[in-house]
Amino acid sequence: MELNRGEIHLVNFNPAKGGEMGKLRPAIIMSSKEENSILDTVIVIPLSTVIEKDALPYRYLIRKRDKLKHDSDACIYEIRALSKIRVKERLSRLKEDELETIQKALCDILG
């Protein structure tokens, strides 16, 4: 399966440990198409249907669209690398300005 930065896929986050997000949930692919074609892992940001207002740079609201059935917060602080085996169906894609906002927020968090 080809994975591209900015796509939203269902991802299996189980088993979760401690305060990690778990469950089968949507996530944004953040690693590039080139990285995804050679590595066995993919970098993702999980989504949550628990919405927190004005939470940038930690969270960013993604409105429902295509197969993404609910408005969701991108939990930017939960970014992680996972095996591509965990990545399932493609649900949608971010708009370019949404991806840019999330990338900037990620830079703010990481310093």
Query: pLDDT by residue (tens digit) across 45-84?
Result: 999 999 999 999 999 999 999 999 999 999 999 999 999 9
- Phi/psi region, residue 40 (left: phi>0; alpha: psi -120 to 50; beta: rest), is alpha
Task: Enter the pTM of the model.
Answer: 0.96
What tokens appear for 23 in the block? 């469950």
Kindly indicate whether the domain formed by 7-110 is annotated with CATH number 2.60.120.380.
no
Q: What is the Cα–Cα distance from 65 to 95, expressed in whole angstroms?
A: 11
pLDDT in the model for residue 76: 98
Supply 53's token pair. 């207002």
